[in-house]
Structure 1
């Protein structure tokens, strides 16, 4: 407690004198509070000990030393067992993080590797076929030797069949044991690689010299730039060829290594043949042992069906954890899919939600409209679509040209439009980290959603910016970063307000759907529906309830979380999920994160510093929550909602649709997990994506460890902001029954989504366009202008694909994508 008090005073003094250390202050306060709580608990325990009449000085002196020694011995034994388990586990993890040794293959042998030549691949197939045939002959020889060893009778005629089998194996292996051709090829590749290295050094030196000379030129910069650009293209081509030659050289070296293994095996078999053919009494047990050793080497040079089909990945390490997580993920997706089915009818048929993200693919795949005409024919055949396409493609295409450096000296357009430079020295410094990004896809989607909805989204974000500036003027911080928030358990005033609004909004929406959720028990709400839909809803209701029970039991018993917090987390997640699905179904939001969840509520209201709110009770649930809900790519519920809308519009057969969805999820999960494991063992997980393989898992466990050590509590009154957001949403929902001109409530719940800083301005532009067209145009005008905005979307998507292909083929970074984290 004294140490943390001193640290807190140091940080406070540094913050008081300058802005340095302002981000350390909350952590220092939390550590000090945790130390004070530990000190208070220790004092209370000491007082209870003093009050116990059975604890006397003589009792302590006589019995406690032995008690302490026994406890220390138990602790030592458990630590030793834990260290042994850790060493065993770390050895497995280390292999995955560093990759398999060079003589093992992560990819199955039938998979051609990138850049692999026909010679290498065909050589592997020849070693497989020749090796398996030779192995069968050796297995026959081994059986004959086993008979001779057991009978203990040796005569020249009895060893002849064994020698014949060895000869057959040697003859089969000889054609694939000569590396001379590849050695010549390696020599040629090494010469070319050396020449390319010299060429690259020469080009880099020339480019550096010309760039230095350009600084002092009085004229002729254009000619100099063209010359530099030409040399850079030559350097890029030489670098690309250098990588290809280096890859081919590595493959050739590996191929020679494998062929030499075959030759070594042939030599060992020849020695065994000589031992059997010698005069006298050969030592058959020793010969058989050497033969079995030689047979075990066949896998190492690709003569193995197992290596050819599944590779050398230690799948046994992964079967148990992958199956457990597949059960958890499968139950989660079952609950989310059936939940979407149960709420869909209320939203699509009663409330008439538009599902903007479902409209676009329906148009692009030639789906007929209400009059039976093909929609895409009007779009692609009209000039309005191509105007929008040209606008987004032109802006982003310019950036592609700049990033590829095809034309030197060009500067890419900044579509993020950060406000920092403009507001740095003004009175609006609270907004220096804000931006008005231009995102063509979001502009197009904003035009497809109702104007009241799009107005609500940008209006409440602007209201947040005003509130942020007011908070800074009031002295509560310096800028937006003075109010930290994150996805696991920390709220600021913005996310707390949005979280409160989200809970109220989601509960109201959930209440409207209550009849369908329990229709497996009460069939009255679905009696008037057609038989197929009634059957679908009742089955979905049953599977939802069973899946929910199964998921709760799995998280409780499988992960070891507290039962109460497991149920609490599940209920809160489902309430939040319905709000997030509504964001996408009604607001057309392309990317989604939710910086509000069950653990934010625990910290903000009771705090995590009590025995019944200790983080150890629900820490395992944080792992589950992080994997399923932290990354926008794994939260599948909104995509399921859009899929149901497309199915309903296109009148797809229900059972076939659901089977296709389930099959797609299963295939994607198996393929994705399998390939990630294979890639990890192939190049080492440390060389893979830093976020998925290092940043996310390490950051998650670091956060959980920090939470368990500090037991954080709410120190920013976020619970009051939460209640304020809930009250604001309640008033808004009530008043909109009488004053429909009030803003739509969906914008208020968007405050939990941090990606809105990249979306709000584009949504504002889309709203302005739609408002003007709706006010001054007719239906025909609206349809033509809508084609322009669909063209904006398709244009950006096209350039994103082109940028990805160019980035891969040219080996340059082109930061043009749909990721707006």
Structure 2
């Protein structure tokens, strides 16, 4: 929404009274590019979970949980905060703004910042290798960048507004979420004003066995998000259909498993199916793009005319540098893990699982427009499920507790941001090569500023008085989990392995059917999303968006669909505009307004 306010309330007056100072379309796009890579750093993308992870291992250690024996002596002091006063003040607060024990925090923060920068660089190189295949060859839809592209579009010469803001269908779409969130925001501040309900817990209608499983996590409920309806209506019908269909498909599995009395927990089975599906889908991605990836290899390793046949002049980095950059970055991360104490083979498998997951989730976001994604497993579970935790040494297991801080809630990870940036810059007069230094500078500044402001807030308020899930439950539960695994080693979980095999087989079947039968409406994106947190929030709104688009195409054709697209952009923009407005108001009223999934 920052781009919206900048374009409408800053740039328009500048065009009117000081046109030489107004931002050009390319400059607005570059500002958005800088924003999109930095917004996740103070939250789930980096520091939100990392900071409490560095402190929780000491603060929540008790004689009862025995962390001092199972975890503490395995973890290097340079990775965490172990000073008692700094740990206590982090969680209990000091009621003094600006008090941060920098002498204690500086070393671990610098180490983790270097780790993050190497990881971001490795991710960037991988994104560059995928860029041409996904943007130019397969022509992914990138629905989430449609609004910034429209907002930043140049206006006709001599006019203040571009054609996007003059379209009446845009304002028609914006009117619905503006009305709803205006009423509900007023209700949050003045309870006497009636609320327009958006959430319906339909699972509460079912009590008898096996229908009561509809209330098991993730429960079946109806939630209205206008922005999700808008995004879903801009997707292809097969993608939007699959997103809601497979959520109900997994819930049907819950019912069947409960009816026949399978011992495995239904959610565990469904999440393991997704794990197996990832292992099939990523090779399929590279197989589909094999021509492009062979070009990358040819450009990197061939000599003479063979290299000249492959054009990478429009890439942010030449393929040779991008491929070697990825390999060097990946190796550096593994070496970092080895120095910390994780076995090399464990680091290799875990990091490979992380990048496999990154590719799949990025594919979901850039092609499916998902506002929220999640992998329903930890990367290390590929080892602990198939071979058991007994094959991993205790030191490695203890250090794997830090993966909770990076690789569980994937809502703001960096790879799709890089791909979105490449998409908005394609066809733009701003060179893609120039953007790399801007991205690096933006990320570095964001880490420094976010670390200071986050620690200032936490030490001033006390982490125990902030969001409980982030600062208490998440780090505490996962370190306890790793402590239990160290004390009670496990062996192969065969029921979960069978679920992984089933998921891999079903994903392979979906890919085969889609290749041989054009009419098939089932897309793997829905199956790989699984029965997770995102579809729990989004499935019904996606269903509404799919139904609206289906009806418009059936009765109005392409002309109606073009108008629908603008209405959908209005739905998205209107909802985000109102949520942003109430957030700003909440800074002064101290009253929260929650309207979007998080």
Shorter-normalised TM range: 0.7 to 0.9
In structure 2, the CA distance between the partners of 1:516 and 1:594, relative to structure 1 (3 Å rule), is farther
Could you tell me whether the CA contact under 8 Å between 2:237 and 2:550 is conserved in 1? yes
- State the match for 1:203 in structure 2: none
Could you tell me whether the CA contact under 8 Å between 2:206 and 2:214 is conserved in 1? yes
SS at 2:223's partner residue?
Answer: coil
- State the match for 1:89 in structure 2: 83
Deviations, residues 128-158 of structure 1 (Å, cap 9, x unaligned): xxxxxxxxxxxxxxxxxxxxxxxxxxxxxxx
1:562 corresponds to 2:348: no
Deviations, residues 247-277 of structure 1 (Å, cap 9, x unaligned): xxxxxxxxxxxxxxxxxxxxxxxxxxxxxxx
* Runs of at least 5 residues in structure 1 that lack an aligned partner in the other structure: 1-74, 108-311, 486-491
In structure 2, the CA distance between the partners of 1:657 and 1:88, relative to structure 1 (3 Å rule), is closer
Could you tell me whether the CA contact under 8 Å between 1:363 and 1:375 is conserved in 2? no
C-alpha distance in 1 between matches for 2:180 and 2:494: 43
- State the match for 2:577 in structure 1: 798
C-alpha distance in 2 between matches for 1:325 and 1:517: 31
- State the match for 2:387 in structure 1: 606
Could you tell me whether the CA contact under 8 Å between 1:496 and 1:721 is conserved in 2? yes
Could you tell me whether the CA contact under 8 Å between 2:154 and 2:162 is conserved in 1? no
C-alpha distance in 1 between matches for 2:149 and 2:261: 51
The equivalent position to 1:435 in structure 2, one of 207, 211, 221, is 221
Task: Summarize the alignment of residues 299-318 of structure 1 with structure 2, pairs less than 5 Å apart.
Answer: 313-318=100-105
SS at 1:434's partner residue?
Answer: coil
SS at 1:576's partner residue?
Answer: helix
The equivalent position to 1:413 in structure 2, one of 187, 196, 202, is 196
The equivalent position to 2:527 in structure 1, one of 748, 752, 757, is 748
Deviations, residues 508-544 of structure 1 (Å, cap 9, x unaligned): 2134364366443347477331534385332222211
1:453 corresponds to 2:239: yes
Could you tell me whether the CA contact under 8 Å between 2:91 and 2:464 is conserved in 1? yes
In structure 2, the CA distance between the partners of 1:532 and 1:464, relative to structure 1 (3 Å rule), is closer
- State the match for 1:243 in structure 2: none
Task: Summarize the alignment of residues 258-407 of structure 1 with structure 2, pairs less than 5 Å apart.
Answer: 313-366=100-153, 377-405=162-190
The equivalent position to 2:255 in structure 1, one of 458, 461, 469, is 469
In structure 2, the CA distance between the partners of 1:400 and 1:87, relative to structure 1 (3 Å rule), is closer
- State the match for 2:364 in structure 1: 583
C-alpha distance in 1 between matches for 2:296 and 2:456: 41
Could you tell me whether the CA contact under 8 Å between 1:581 and 1:638 is conserved in 2? yes
- State the match for 2:353 in structure 1: 572
1:495 corresponds to 2:275: no
Q: Which of these two proteins has the greater Rg computed from alpha carbons?
A: 1
- State the match for 2:37 in structure 1: none
C-alpha distance in 2 between matches for 1:319 and 1:530: 40
In structure 2, the CA distance between the partners of 1:658 and 1:520, relative to structure 1 (3 Å rule), is same
Residue 634 of structure 1 deviates from its aligned partner by: 4.4
Q: TM-score, normalised by structure 1?
A: 0.58
Bigger shift: 582-591 or 800-809? 800-809
Residue 655 of structure 1 deviates from its aligned partner by: 2.5
Task: Summarize the alignment of residues 495-514 of structure 1 with structure 2, pairs less than 5 Å apart.
Answer: 495-511=271-287, 512=289, 514=293
Residue 421 of structure 1 deviates from its aligned partner by: 2.8
Residue 803 of structure 1 deviates from its aligned partner by: 1.9
- State the match for 2:546 in structure 1: 767
C-alpha distance in 1 between matches for 2:256 and 2:161: 48
SS at 1:740's partner residue?
Answer: coil
Could you tell me whether the CA contact under 8 Å between 2:184 and 2:196 is conserved in 1? yes
Deviations, residues 714-736 of structure 1 (Å, cap 9, x unaligned): 65711111101101111221232
Could you tell me whether the CA contact under 8 Å between 1:343 and 1:517 is conserved in 2? no
Residue 614 of structure 1 deviates from its aligned partner by: 4.4
In structure 2, the CA distance between the partners of 1:442 and 1:714, relative to structure 1 (3 Å rule), is farther
C-alpha distance in 1 between matches for 2:308 and 2:373: 33
SS at 2:222's partner residue?
Answer: coil
* Runs of at least 5 residues in structure 2 that lack an aligned partner in the other structure: 1-68
Q: TM-score, normalised by structure 2?
A: 0.79
**Deviating runs (4+, > 4 A) in structure 1?**
516-519, 522-526, 713-716
Could you tell me whether the CA contact under 8 Å between 1:500 and 1:723 is conserved in 2? yes
In structure 2, the CA distance between the partners of 1:650 and 1:500, relative to structure 1 (3 Å rule), is same
Task: Summarize the alignment of residues 40-59 of structure 1 with structure 2, pairs less than 5 Å apart.
Answer: none
- State the match for 1:200 in structure 2: none
1:815 corresponds to 2:598: no
Could you tell me whether the CA contact under 8 Å between 2:81 and 2:104 is conserved in 1? no
In structure 2, the CA distance between the partners of 1:517 and 1:471, relative to structure 1 (3 Å rule), is farther
The equivalent position to 1:787 in structure 2, one of 554, 557, 566, is 566
Could you tell me whether the CA contact under 8 Å between 1:515 and 1:525 is conserved in 2? no
Residue 402 of structure 1 deviates from its aligned partner by: 1.6
Residue 91 of structure 1 deviates from its aligned partner by: 3.1
Task: Summarize the alignment of residues 541-556 of structure 1 with structure 2, pairs less than 5 Å apart.
Answer: 541-556=323-338
Residue 322 of structure 1 deviates from its aligned partner by: 1.0
SS at 1:584's partner residue?
Answer: helix
C-alpha distance in 1 between matches for 2:294 and 2:81: 54
Deviations, residues 535-572 of structure 1 (Å, cap 9, x unaligned): 53322222111111111111111x21011100111112
In structure 2, the CA distance between the partners of 1:677 and 1:331, relative to structure 1 (3 Å rule), is same
Deviations, residues 405-463 of structure 1 (Å, cap 9, x unaligned): 16x1x442332221133223586222133112211111111112211211121222221
Could you tell me whether the CA contact under 8 Å between 1:498 and 1:750 is conserved in 2? yes
Residue 767 of structure 1 deviates from its aligned partner by: 1.1
In structure 2, the CA distance between the partners of 1:375 and 1:438, relative to structure 1 (3 Å rule), is farther
Q: Aligned pair count?
A: 514
What CA RMSD, in Å, does the superposition of the two structures yield over aligned residues?
3.1
SS at 1:737's partner residue?
Answer: helix
In structure 2, the CA distance between the partners of 1:541 and 1:614, relative to structure 1 (3 Å rule), is same
- State the match for 1:592 in structure 2: 373
Could you tell me whether the CA contact under 8 Å between 2:250 and 2:531 is conserved in 1? no
SS at 2:400's partner residue?
Answer: helix
- State the match for 2:450 in structure 1: 672
C-alpha distance in 2 between matches for 1:607 and 1:554: 24
